[in-house]
Amino acid sequence: MTQQPPIKVMIVDDHTVVRRGLKFFLLAFDDMELVGEADNGEAAVELCGQLQPDVILMDMKMPGMDGAAATRKIIERHPHVQIIALTSFKDEALVQGALLAGAVSYLLKDVTDDELAEAIRSAYAGRATLAPEIARALVRAATQPPALGSDLTDRERQVLALMVEGLNNVEIAKRLVISRSTARYHVSNILSKLGATNRVEATALAIQNKLI
């Protein structure tokens, strides 16, 4: 039976010691080979085009272009590449950002060698792997109600900031160079989305929840 070529793996992490550890990890497995490494997102995007890896182990927090942005760019240009987010951080926003960017898996750096190896093989086959802590974080995010004000548009946040300053609809319209009816429309939407009965209550909620 013809032997399958090894899985081509690229490492992206801004810490030299982490990259070194992952390189030694890959040496223990005959079905994987390291084809390259990068210490930032920009370099990862460029190298990916040259090296054409099968799987990328991608750190999420790096200076400059972070892991989510690099993942998004790589997937746009090379949709066949499978990316595993491998990081020390498990906050829900980071997890969601990585998965929305196109990462197939999300693992923490305390993962065992065997678990990481199996995750690489699964990613190569197009199957997802999530650390248990990450799966729980996603469940919490899915079951918690959205934060107050999360559905405000950028323009509504601008109007809300002016409401906090104490401006009325006429003054808001002048400041934003919009019509009075448009200003009134935005204020009405803001009150509805915040569940406020009046401008004073909306202003108080904006301050209490740090919406501006």
Cβ-proximal residues to 51 (8 Å cutoff; 6+ apart), any chain: 8, 10, 35, 36
Q: Tokens 């909306």: give the residue.
A: 202
82-87 vs 105-108, strand pairing mode = parallel
- CATH for the 154-208 domain, from 1.10.645.10, 2.50.20.10, 1.10.10.10, 1.50.10.10: 1.10.10.10
Start-end ranges of CATH 1.10.10.10 in the chain?
A: 154-208
Backbone angles phi, psi at 133, to 5 degrees: -65, -35
Torsion (CA) 133, 135, 136, 140 in degrees, nearest 10: 140
* CA dist list (Å): 36 to 47, 57, 71, 202: 8, 11, 16, 53
| pLDDT at residue 46, rounded to an integer | 95
In the chain, CATH 3.40.50.2300 sits at 7-143
CATH of domain 7-143: 3.40.50.2300
pLDDT tens sequence for the chain (212 residues): 457 899 999 999 999 999 999 999 999 999 999 999 999 999 999 999 999 999 999 999 998 899 999 999 999 999 999 999 998 887 777 888 898 899 999 999 999 999 999 999 999 999 999 888 888 777 776 666 677 888 899 999 999 999 999 999 999 999 999 999 999 999 999 999 999 999 999 999 999 988 98
Q: What pLDDT sits at residue 143?
A: 66
**What is the rounded distance in angstroms from the CA atom of residue 111 to the CA atom of residue 117?**
10
pTM of the model: 0.66
